[in-house]
Amino acid sequence: MAASSLFLVIWFSSIATAADVFAHFMVANTYNYTQTDWKTDFQAASDIGIDGFALNWGPPDCSLAPNDQQWYVARIADAYDVAATNGFKLIYSFDMSYTPGACAIGWNTTFMATMISKYVNSSAAYLWNGDVLVSSYGGEGYGNTFFADLKSILAGEGIGISISPALTTFSLAAQSADPNEVATKMLADYSAIDGYLNWQTWPADTYTNLTADVDVDFQAAFENTGRTGPYIMGISPWQFKDFNDGYYNSWVEYSDVLFPSRWQQAISIVQPDIVEIITWNDFEESHYIRDLPPVAGPTAVDFGVTGAYIYGQTHSAWRVMAQYYISWYKTGLAPKVTEDRVVFWYRIHPKEVPCSSGTNNIGVVRNSAYPADAVFAWALVSQNSTISMDVGSNQNWKFIATTCGPTLNMVPFPEDVDNAYPSVSIQRKEKTLAAATGHIAITEACAYENYNPVVGLTGPAFVASPKMGNGSGTGGKPRKPKYQKKAC
């Protein structure tokens, strides 16, 4: 039976350009990190073309934590030491969702300025037009005066900073309003910011594909007002969390084909100054591409109840997809394909089966009807090939992958899907070149309501990318490529 086609990613040719890619990194998951652990992460990220991490961390003295978080400072010191000797870049992404009202001691400009100036001369510091790039998650609770004061303190020390925050309420509002009007108001309210990070990389509680409309209008608004900071476009593979405490802290967003779709928008429509992958290691929200930490041992992470949908749910193969698009984004040219690979992902139980634990028992995971009960496949081949997929009783579903670029397709779960291990093979000239089976079965015996996918790979593992982008860490407005549709 032939699988119904979703879409064929279009290729473009262009003039080459230089651009950088960062990954959002949760410092909260590094309590037990050594310098060796930092080096492992930096190398894994660099291998697929990521230039640096945006370090997300909360106020060290915030009273929300059971203990103070001063260990953040020590882990960040290790990160800068290791990055400086490995050609890797770092920027701060201050988590400003921790507002003054929520913390006995929240963020203050004196401490932030001290932490910025501490590493201003490090080779790991990422500069934009000669200034230290500073980002955030949130910040509306602090206001424009706070950002202006931070700039003023550092200017008094002879240090320039370029502030590109993620003011999340504006990004969210722009999805249901006129993005140009929202951006205009934001720029009027925040005269101290230079650039912007669009954090809203998932459709907000809607059963629709995310468009690039917000990115296009926000980017234009910054350019038209002469702001000199980078426009940073967030790209994420998924969004699901469930803290098992009710509707408002448990949700999934429509993410079935989000990752390749968002990358296509970045390459062919937005062409942002910087791409930020959201995230490298935010496991609890299911949008990680890092290898899973060990269940036990010195670098294990206690995820609490959320570990029920994290451990076992590997996402590492999404880095194969990211590597391909990162190269395309940086060079303006679709990479030459020399190996045959299929990345596939699926959830491990149908969305309507009852689960023995999770929010399903006390309510409903918000938007739980959105994800399709299906196995998705993203194929990249060196020669035209047949991709064959088996999912339980749905056997030998086939589609054609061509050399025109990545081909995306899906096979639905059969009506009876108990204990089905999906398998994906690459066939050419009546020969099977590669095959792989998902390592977790799709089952109706649901132990914990789980909308976090398993990601698998058919074909060889990827090889390290050559170093690309503004490796000096002195970013500036790159020359935008002129993309042209390539006939195929």
Nearest to 53 by CA among 282, 272, 209, 222: 282
At residue 117, what is the residue type? Answer: S
Tally of residues, the chain: 488
Q: What is the pLDDT of residue 356?
A: 80
Q: For the segment 40-75, what is each residue's pLDDT rounded down to a tens digit?
A: 999 999 999 999 999 999 988 775 545 567 899 999
At residue 329, what is the residue type? Answer: Y
Domains 16-331 and 341-458 share a fold: no
Backbone torsions φ then ψ of 392, nearest 5 degrees:
60, -130
Question: What's the mean pLDDT in 305-324?
Answer: 96
**Cα distance between residue 155 and residue 72, in whole Å:** 25
Q: What is the pLDDT of residue 467?
A: 65
Q: On the CB side of 41, how many CA atoms lie within 13 Å of its CA?
A: 34
Coil vs helix vs strand at 152 = helix
pLDDT at 351 over 70: yes
Q: Which residues of 367-397 are buried (b: 16+ CB within 10 A; e: fewer)?
A: bbebbebbbbbbbbbeeebbbbbbbbebeeb
Annotate 173-188 with DSSP letters as a single string: HTTSS-HHHHHHHHHH
Domain ranges of the chain: 16-331, 341-458
- pLDDT over 70, % of the chain: 88
Q: How far is CA 206 from CA 6, 249, 250, 452, in A?
A: 19, 17, 15, 18
How much is the mean pLDDT over the chain?
A: 90
Question: What's the mean pLDDT in 374-389?
Answer: 98
Class of domain 341-458: mainly beta
Q: Which residues of 176-196 are buried (b: 16+ CB within 10 A; e: fewer)?
A: eeebbebbeebbeebebbbbb
pTM of the model: 0.93
Contact present, 418 and 444 (Cβ < 8 Å): yes
Q: What is the pLDDT of residue 480?
A: 53
**Cα distance between residue 217 and residue 21, in whole Å:** 21
Q: For the segment 220-268, what is each residue's pLDDT rounded down to a tens digit?
A: 999 999 999 999 999 999 999 998 776 678 999 999 999 999 999 999 9
Q: What is the pLDDT of residue 15?
A: 35
Q: What is the pLDDT of residue 245?
A: 74
Q: For the segment 143-201, what is each residue's pLDDT rounded down to a tens digit?
A: 999 999 999 999 999 999 999 999 999 999 999 999 999 999 999 999 999 999 999 99
CATH code given to domain 16-331: 3.20.20.80
pLDDT at 128 over 90: yes
Q: What is the pLDDT of residue 359?
A: 64
DSSP state of 437: E
pLDDT at 8 over 50: no
